[in-house]
Amino acid sequence: MEILGTTLRICVADLESSVAFYERLTGSPALRFERGGVSAAAVGCFLLMSGPEDELNVLRRVTATIAVRDVGETAAALDAAGAKVLAGPVDTPAGRNLIAVHPDGSVFEYADRGAGPQ
């Protein structure tokens, strides 16, 4: 499994002002999308999320998003290392992803960014 990068997940109350700040900070434009009632914006290595509190509470359980070359390969590597895949792999607008819990209880999203932005 090759790790290509990490995205930091941040839940925010005001997506618009947060996007403006992170665009200035990173010098990168936001890539915006919605999923499951949550509005999100990817800005550089940051993923900003805003929406209903019950949805955000679920998203807060995921520590970070790890970009990998191939999610199927990653699922096998996680299994061999003792992690448990909780969901996926599934297709998303940016590529495939899965959610896994590591033996220490940490929860991560692994995303195949081959078809979308990294």
| Structure confidence at residue 91 (pLDDT) | 87
Single pTM value for the model: 0.79
What's the average pLDDT block by block, 10 residues per block, for the chain (118 residues)? Answer: 90 95 96 89 94 91 92 95 94 86 94 58
Domains and their CATH numbers in the chain: 3-112 (3.10.180.10)
Helices (H), 33-85: 53-59, 71-81
| Structure confidence at residue 19 (pLDDT) | 97
Residues, the chain: 118
Sign (positive or negative) of CA dihedral 78, 79, 82, 87: positive
Q: Could you tell me if 50 and 60 are in contact, meaning their C-beta atoms sit under 8 angstroms apart?
A: no
Residue type, 21: F
